[in-house]
Amino acid sequence: MTPRPDAVTPPVDEPRASLVVVANRLPVQPDAEAGVNGWRPSPGGLVSALTSVLQRGNGLWIGWPGTSQHRHVPAHYEGIRLRPVPISADEYETFYLGFSNATLWPLYHDAIRPPAFHRTWWQSYARVNRRFADAVTEAAAPGATVWVHDYQLQLVPRMVRERRPDVRLGFFMHIPFPPLELFNQLPWRREIVEGLLGADLVGFQTRQSAANFSRLARRLTTADGTDALVQYEGRRVRTGAFPITADVARFAAAAQDPAVRARAKEIRQDLGDPEVILLGVDRLDYTKGIQQRAKALAELYADHSLDPEHHVMVQIAVPSRESDAHYERERHELEQVVSQVNGDYGLVGRPVIHYLHQNMPFDELVALYLAADVMLVTPFRDGMNLVAKEYVTCRTDLTGRLILSEFAGAATELRGAFIVNPHDLEGVKEAIRSAVRAGPRETRERMARLRRQTMRRDVYDWATTFLGALEST
Ligand code: F6P
């Protein structure tokens, strides 16, 4: 039976909130291991940042509980109130997998896969955005601050503004915002831009994305002004770059934990005590360039730049959006490439690529960051990429080298990395060679520079900077 969209229990008789975060997902997700009604915190730095902000401000988090099954959603998480927005099984297909992740996601990531345009998906997207907007309209106190997140909810700002002009509205886009040439493919391009223009402040990861949006707004609507500020329907809408930061305090603390450090040593031993451990940590997504990385590695073993005895790679591929055909194909192709590289260059009991298609517990992730001599972050396009910043945060002793795609938002800040164009296989190979061979002095200098760029601000600072800018609009 298809669950009804109202199959999630909403909280009753809650006072209205003066600070409201609206995101596709709640900060908790179903935990099958903890029984039918078990929940666990959703992963990611955003949850800790926004939780701290909401704890200080009578806050409420509105989001989808990550299931269309009937479940009782906890009313609170770490002292903040939760308000679930239900999504039916059909909407999971059309709103989440469909319009959000098979139309917008590829379109906003350079159309690496062809985006699919379906009117029924668009209708579902608008319907679900309306449901989120209704939840905000009901739950926000007079004059409240409302912060909407990401590409799944781009229509929400305008929908809320129409019914609650009293609230202060911010929107932050976590993924890239594409240039006009790509965005204009979208049949509903004007509606999306108008949706975002409902906010007082529209924030992006990079200045490039902010400029793309602002130019599109001026091209597709009556908005007029500059890259940083437009006038629209008698209001001022600010745009700008607010690059998200890692949960620095949490990662730095774990990196000092003796148990985690011991685990890092153990990982090195388990891998056969190689000279160099290379590491990739990604959601299994076609935007991440994981196959390219494996192919570059294969060619480096083939031309003896790398030696299977001494150079091994660990690739964590976190399962993601598995029922989408593009993701299924990506997994299939990646696993073929990995098994081919291992078949060609592995030794008995010693594969050259240790591939794990799994979620990583936090401490294990930090132990891997500590064990890795070379970190590869080579997406074809990425809003920011926090893995790069987390790795740097953990390298307190100034060891470790970072290879970073010029198409990740992080590349605008992390200039101490070996910067690569992931489409250029020769360039990726050259960067791996250089990173593997970098001496202690170059490594230390680069890492010190990376850490100066990364350790300045925590994710809590990021959230308060955005909210401060929103308050001053
Ligand atoms: O911004 C990209 C993002 O939506 C993140 O918020 C999230 O962690 C990731 O992609 C995976 O998203 P989901 O599993 O909700 O599709």
The answer as to whether 320 is a domain residue is yes
Please tell me the predicted confidence (pLDDT) of residue 461: 93
For ligand 1, whether the C-beta of 346 sits within 6 Å is no
- Rounded to the nearest integer, the mean pLDDT of the chain is 94
HSE (CB half, 13 Å, CA atoms) of 355? 23
Please tell me the predicted confidence (pLDDT) of residue 18: 94
The answer as to whether 12 is a domain residue is no
Please tell me the predicted confidence (pLDDT) of residue 92: 96
Q: Kindly report the protein residue whose alpha carbon is nearest to atom 7 of ligand 1.
A: 44
Whether 275 and 197 share a structural domain = no
Q: Residue range 152-168: average pLDDT?
A: 98
Whether 360 and 412 share a structural domain = yes
The answer as to whether 331 is a domain residue is yes
Please tell me the predicted confidence (pLDDT) of residue 2: 32
Residues of the chain with pLDDT > 70: what percent? 96
The answer as to whether 279 is a domain residue is yes
Assigned token pair, 439: 């001496």
11: confidence class by pLDDT, cuts 50, 70, 90: low
Q: Cα separations (Å) of 429 from 166, 420, 447?
A: 55, 9, 21
Residues of the chain with pLDDT > 90: what percent? 86
For ligand 1, whether the C-beta of 137 sits within 6 Å is no
Q: Kindly report the protein residue whose alpha carbon is nearest to atom 11 of ligand 1.
A: 320
Ligand 1, atom nearest to 46 Cα? 6
321 CA → ligand 1 middle, Å: 9
Q: Kindly report the protein residue whose alpha carbon is nearest to atom 8 of ligand 1.
A: 44
Ligand 1, atom nearest to 320 Cα? 14
Ligand 1, atom nearest to 44 Cα? 8
Ligand 1, atom nearest to 175 Cα? 1
Return the best residue to mutate from 28, 283, 284, 318 for the ligand 1 pocket (most ligand atoms within 8 A of CB). 283
The answer as to whether 420 is a domain residue is yes
Whether 237 and 259 share a structural domain = no
358-391 pLDDT, tens digit each: 999 999 999 999 999 999 999 999 999 999 999 9
Whether 51 and 193 share a structural domain = yes
HSE (CB half, 13 Å, CA atoms) of 63? 28
Domain that holds residue 323: 248-454
Whether 400 and 371 share a structural domain = yes
For ligand 1, whether the C-beta of 288 sits within 6 Å is no
Return the best residue to mutate from 21, 22, 24, 96 for the ligand 1 pocket (most ligand atoms within 8 A of CB). 24
197 CA → ligand 1 middle, Å: 23
Whether 173 and 273 share a structural domain = no
Domain count, the chain: 2
Q: Does residue 13 surpass a pLDDT of 80?
A: no
Whether 440 and 402 share a structural domain = yes
The answer as to whether 361 is a domain residue is yes
27 CA → ligand 1 middle, Å: 12
> Residue 111: what residue type?
A
Report the C-alpha gap between 239 and 212 in whole angstroms.
10
For ligand 1, whether the C-beta of 153 sits within 6 Å is no
User: DSSP assignment of 299-347, as one string?
Assistant: HHHHTTSS-TTTEEEEEEEE--STTSHHHHHHHHHHHHHHHHHHHHH-B
Please tell me the predicted confidence (pLDDT) of residue 45: 64
383 CA → ligand 1 middle, Å: 11
62, 14 in Cβ contact below 8 A? no
Whether 236 and 293 share a structural domain = no
1: confidence class by pLDDT, cuts 50, 70, 90: very low
Contacts of 266 (CB under 8 A, 6+ apart): 367
The answer as to whether 151 is a domain residue is yes
Q: Cα separations (Å) of 390 from 92, 153, 375?
A: 31, 27, 11
Ligand 1, atom nearest to 101 Cα? 16
408-453 pLDDT, tens digit each: 999 999 999 999 999 999 999 999 999 999 999 999 999 999 999 9
199: confidence class by pLDDT, cuts 50, 70, 90: very high
Q: Does residue 6 surpass a pLDDT of 50?
A: no
For ligand 1, whether the C-beta of 109 sits within 6 Å is no
Q: Residue range 206-222: average pLDDT?
A: 98
| Residue of 126, 171, 165, 129 lying closest to 148 (CA atoms) | 171
For ligand 1, whether the C-beta of 44 sits within 6 Å is yes
Q: Does residue 304 surpass a pLDDT of 80?
A: yes
Q: What's the CATH number where 410 sits? A: 3.40.50.2000
254-301 pLDDT, tens digit each: 999 999 999 999 999 999 999 999 999 999 999 999 999 999 999 999
30-82 pLDDT, tens digit each: 887 777 678 888 876 678 778 888 887 779 999 999 887 777 888 998 888 99
The answer as to whether 6 is a domain residue is no
Per mean pLDDT, which range of 7-16, 24-33, 129-138, 309-318 is the poorest?
7-16
Whether 200 and 254 share a structural domain = no
More confident position, 11 or 473: 473
Q: Does residue 242 surpass a pLDDT of 90?
A: yes
10: confidence class by pLDDT, cuts 50, 70, 90: very low
Whether 441 and 467 share a structural domain = no
Whether 138 and 274 share a structural domain = no
Its pTM stands at 0.94
Whether 192 and 273 share a structural domain = no
